[in-house]
């Protein structure tokens, strides 16, 4: 043993204690890496998370108080110039609201054309955010609903703006939700404008990167990104975000597509754990298949409409199976 | 349990509570303080070895159980660091506050870098550059300031505990 442990029984005792604790630590790391999600160490981690639920609630309370104090301080320190500025801003906002109403009505008409519904017929459990992760490595939030309320691992979680993450673990009355910005998060998505499928990855810096998109596909800032439902895990058609920036040209191998998550500009306190939903695309697919059959033309004159002559032939190739809790998955042949 | 160790244990519990309740709310641009690391470094300079080992192991375990990373990594790193801190104190320490503070800052940085290396090795989703640039370096800087402050407080408190115990005198 090194000399700095000292001489005699005290030094030996320190060395033995240190060795035992080091071995114990390494044994835990090894076991953690080798066991599955249901292993003893993972279970202990989940149990600790559940036990510390009340403390996490205090953390959420501290956060809310902090926001409230910050707002009050801003109000107190507002000078007459700020009030004039706020009145002007209010007027501008009124004009913007009127303008947006026009856009909304136009959007409703366009939605009718595109047959994309703007609401999710979703069922689930509403919950409040208790706390955020205590380290910077993970973007995970704890919510105040667990297995007792019907929450289970794998369910998608939404805020009013759209998808925010997925339940990764549960206790009786709490659950941990991995946010889509987490670097370990990956979602199968579809770009609404060109139906191109890709994978949306989180990162340590909190940005979302759209990858696995064909190099020659044109992607523009502002393109809407929705869950594709492929691979299970998420229901199809949930709004995830919009393309914020495209670094590099189409065709360049090193193109980077950065997606801004929906509602990233405002913190959310309440979330919705989706247990089942009717995808905005489910109805469309059925309708299109019906129309397709009606629009087929009898080319060879045998009295039977011929395959491949309908308006929506491309949808014929897509077949999805719906599995409650796991969204859509590609139907096995 | 003597007075100093009792105070140190209370401080450890406070560090854990601060980590859960306060740390997520005082993050600066996503950089969150790690009170557990801060406190572990501070007590490594002022407590006897055996007590330090037990306390930093317990703190590290709690830290890992609170988070979502590999359990056992933090206690392992803190134990190694506490041995190295003891060695550094004996080698370079000349009783001045300045040298002790330098040791505190140096080891906070070392611990964060080792922890980042562990996380990169254990999880494939972190790139080394991102992990160091976005997490390890900012957290090390944040925690260095906190660790120096914590060391000064712990040193003061434990010296008070020592005085109190000495004034009681041995039982006869």
pLDDT score of A219? 85
| CB-based contact B36:B74 (threshold 8 Å) | yes
> To the nearest whole angstrom, how far is the Cα of A26 from the nearest Cα of chain B?
6
| CB-based contact A235:A229 (threshold 8 Å) | yes
ipTM of the prediction: 0.86
Which residues of chain B does A58 touch, with a Cβ-Cβ cutoff of 8 Å?
20-21
Contact A21 B79 (CB under 8 A): yes
Name the residue among A52, A137, A205 with its Cβ closest to that of B119. Answer: A137
CA distance B45 to B90: 10
Q: Which of A271-275, B44-48, B59-63 has the lowest mean pLDDT?
A: A271-275
Q: Which helix (H) or strand (E) holds A321?
A: strand A320-323
Contact A203 B65 (CB under 8 A): no
Any A CB within 8 A of B18 CB: no
Any B CB within 8 A of A68 CB: no
* Residue carrying structure tokens 């953390």: A59
Q: What is the mean pLDDT of the segment spanning B76-101?
A: 90
Which residues of chain A does B66 touch, with a Cβ-Cβ cutoff of 8 Å?
48-49, 52, 134
User: How many CB atoms are located within 10 Å of the residue B106 CB?
Assistant: 16
| CB-based contact A137:A162 (threshold 8 Å) | no
Contact A135 B68 (CB under 8 A): yes
Greater confidence, B103 or B95? B103
Q: Which chain B residue has the Cα nearest residue A33?
A: B70
Question: Rounded to the nearest 5 degrees, what angle is found at the Cα of B153, between the Cα atoms of B148 and B155?
Answer: 90
pLDDT score of A20? 94
Contact A183 B79 (CB under 8 A): no
pLDDT score of A263? 62
CA A43, A49, A54, A56: dihedral to nearest 10 degrees? -170
| CB-based contact B92:B103 (threshold 8 Å) | yes
CA distance B150 to B141: 14
Disruptive mutation site among A135, A165, A205 for chain B (greatest number of B CBs within 10 Å): A135
DSSP symbol at A115: T
Contact A138 B49 (CB under 8 A): no
**CB-based contacts of A50: which residues, under 8 Å, 6+ apart?**
A146, A171, A172, A173, A174
Any A CB within 8 A of B80 CB: yes
CA B29, B30, B31, B36: dihedral to nearest 10 degrees? 140
What would you report as the CA-atom Rg of chain A, rounded to the nearest whole angstrom?
Answer: 26
Q: Which residues of B66-102 are buried (b: 16+ CB within 10 A; e: fewer)?
A: bbbbbbbbbbbbbbbbbbbbbebbeeeeeeeeeebbe
pLDDT (tens place) for every residue of chain A, 333 residues total: 445 566 667 778 888 999 999 999 999 999 998 887 778 888 888 888 777 777 777 776 676 676 667 666 766 666 777 778 888 888 888 878 777 776 676 565 445 434 333 456 677 888 888 888 888 888 888 888 888 888 988 898 887 777 888 998 888 888 999 998 888 888 899 888 888 888 999 888 888 998 888 877 888 888 888 888 887 778 888 888 889 888 877 666 678 889 988 766 556 777 888 887 765 544 443 444 454 455 555 555 555 555 444 333 333 333 333 343 344 444 433
* Percent of residues, chain B, with pLDDT higher than 90: 55
Name the residue among A58, A140, A205 with its Cβ closest to that of B134. Answer: A205
Greatest mean pLDDT among A242-246, B13-17, B22-26: B13-17
Any A CB within 8 A of B21 CB: yes
DSSP symbol at A13: H
| CB-based contact B76:A26 (threshold 8 Å) | yes
Name the residue among B60, B83, B139 with its Cβ closest to that of A18. Answer: B83
pLDDT score of B10? 93
Any B CB within 8 A of A321 CB: no
> To the nearest whole angstrom, how far is the Cα of A195 from the nearest Cα of chain B?
27
Per CATH, the architecture of B3-165 is what?
Orthogonal Bundle (1.10)
pLDDT score of A320? 37
* Residue carrying structure tokens 């709490």: A174
Residue-range domain boundaries for chain A: 78-114, 122-277
Crossing angle between the packed helical segments B35-44 and B49-66, to the nearest 10 degrees: 170
Name the residue among B60, B70, B79 with its Cβ closest to that of A18. Answer: B79
**CB-based contacts of B58: which residues, under 8 Å, 6+ apart?**
B12, B75
Give which of A18, A38, A17, A39 is closest to A28, Cα–Cα. Answer: A39
Q: What is the mean pLDDT of the segment spanning B141-168?
A: 80
CATH superfamily of A122-277: Rod shape-determining protein MreC, domain 1 (2.40.10.340)
pLDDT at B153 exceeding the cut of 90? yes
Name the residue among B27, B67, B122 with its Cβ closest to that of A138. Answer: B67
| CB-based contact A35:A45 (threshold 8 Å) | no
Name the residue among B21, B83, B90 with its Cβ closest to that of A55. Answer: B21
Contact A14 B53 (CB under 8 A): yes
pLDDT score of A80? 73
Which residues of chain B does A4 touch, with a Cβ-Cβ cutoff of 8 Å?
86-87, 90
CA distance B32 to B41: 17
Question: Rounded to the nearest 5 degrees, what angle is found at the Cα of A200, between the Cα atoms of A333 and B34?
Answer: 130
pLDDT score of B168? 46
Any B CB within 8 A of A13 CB: yes
Any B CB within 8 A of A57 CB: no
CA distance A155 to A193: 27
CA distance A163 to A208: 13
Residue-range domain boundaries for chain B: 3-165
Any B CB within 8 A of A136 CB: yes
**CB-based contacts of A185: which residues, under 8 Å, 6+ apart?**
A139, A165, A166, A178, A179, A201, A202
Q: Which chain A residue has the Cα nearest residue B137?
A: A136
CA distance A193 to A313: 18
Contact A56 B86 (CB under 8 A): no
Q: What is the pTM of this model?
A: 0.69
> To the nearest whole angstrom, how far is the Cα of A89 from the nearest Cα of chain B?
28
Structure tokens at B149: 């402050």
Name the residue among B23, B54, B73 with its Cβ closest to that of A29. Answer: B73
pLDDT score of B30? 80
CA distance A200 to A191: 11
Contact A55 B71 (CB under 8 A): no
Name the residue among B21, B31, B134 with its Cβ closest to that of A62. Answer: B21
Which residues of chain A does B53 touch, with a Cβ-Cβ cutoff of 8 Å?
14, 17-18, 21
């Amino acid at each position: 043993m090194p000399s700095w442990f000292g001489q005699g029984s005290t030094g030996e005792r320190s060395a033995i204690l240190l060795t035992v604790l080091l071995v114990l630590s390494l044994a835990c790391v090894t076991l953690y890496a080798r066991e599955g999600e249901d292993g003893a160490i993972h279970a202990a981690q989940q149990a600790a998370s559940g036990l510390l639920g009340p403390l996490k609630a205090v953390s959420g309370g501290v956060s809310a108080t902090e926001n409230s104090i910050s707002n009050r301080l801003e109000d107190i320190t507002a000078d007459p110039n700020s009030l004039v500025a706020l009145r002007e801003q209010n007027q501008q906002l009124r004009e913007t609201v009127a303008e947006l109403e026009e856009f909304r009505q136009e959007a409703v008409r366009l939605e009718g054309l595109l047959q994309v519904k703007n609401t999710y017929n979703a069922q689930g459990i509403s919950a409040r955010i208790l706390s955020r992760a205590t380290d910077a490595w993970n973007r995970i939030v704890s919510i105040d609903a667990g297995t007792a309320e019907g929450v289970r691992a794998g369910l998608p979680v939404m805020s009013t703006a759209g998808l925010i993450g997925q339940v990764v673990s549960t206790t009786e009355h709490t659950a941990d939700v991995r946010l889509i910005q987490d670097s370990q998060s990956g979602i199968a998505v579809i770009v609404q404008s060109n139906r191109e499928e890709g994978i949306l990855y989180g990162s340590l810096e909190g940005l979302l990167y759209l990858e696995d998109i064909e190099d020659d596909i044109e992607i523009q800032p502002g393109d809407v990104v929705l869950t594709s439902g492929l691979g299970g895990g998420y229901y199809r058609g949930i709004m995830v975000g919009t393309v914020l920036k495209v670094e590099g040209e189409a065709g360049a191998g090193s193109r980077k597509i950065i997606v801004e998550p929906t509602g990233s500009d405002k913190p959310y306190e309440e979330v919705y754990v989706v247990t089942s939903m009717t995808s905005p695309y489910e109805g469309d697919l059925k309708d299109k298949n019906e129309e397709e059959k009606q629009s087929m033309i009898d080319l060879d004159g045998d009295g039977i409409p011929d395959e491949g002559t309908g308006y929506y032939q491309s949808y014929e190739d897509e077949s999805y199976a719906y599995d409650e809790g796991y969204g859509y998955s590609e139907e096995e042949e | 349990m003597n007075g100093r160790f009792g105070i140190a244990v209370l401080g450890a519990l406070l560090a854990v509570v601060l980590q859960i309740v306060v740390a997520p709310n005082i993050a600066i641009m996503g950089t969150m303080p790690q009170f557990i690391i801060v406190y572990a470094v501070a007590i490594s300079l002022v407590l006897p070895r055996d007590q330090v080992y037990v306390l930093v192991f317990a703190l590290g375990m709690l830290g890992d159980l609170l988070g979502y990373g590999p359990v056992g990594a933090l206690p392992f790193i803190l134990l190694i660091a506490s041995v190295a801190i003891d060695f550094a104190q004996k080698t370079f320490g000349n009783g001045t506050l300045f040298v002790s503070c330098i040791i505190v800052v140096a080891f906070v940085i070392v611990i964060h870098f080792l922890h980042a290396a562990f996380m990169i090795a254990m999880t494939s989703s972190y790139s080394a550059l991102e992990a160091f640039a976005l997490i390890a370096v900012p957290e090390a800087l944040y925690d260095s300031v906190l660790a120096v402050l914590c060391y000064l407080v712990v040193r003061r408190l434990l010296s008070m505990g020592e005085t109190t115990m000495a004034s009681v005198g041995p039982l006869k």
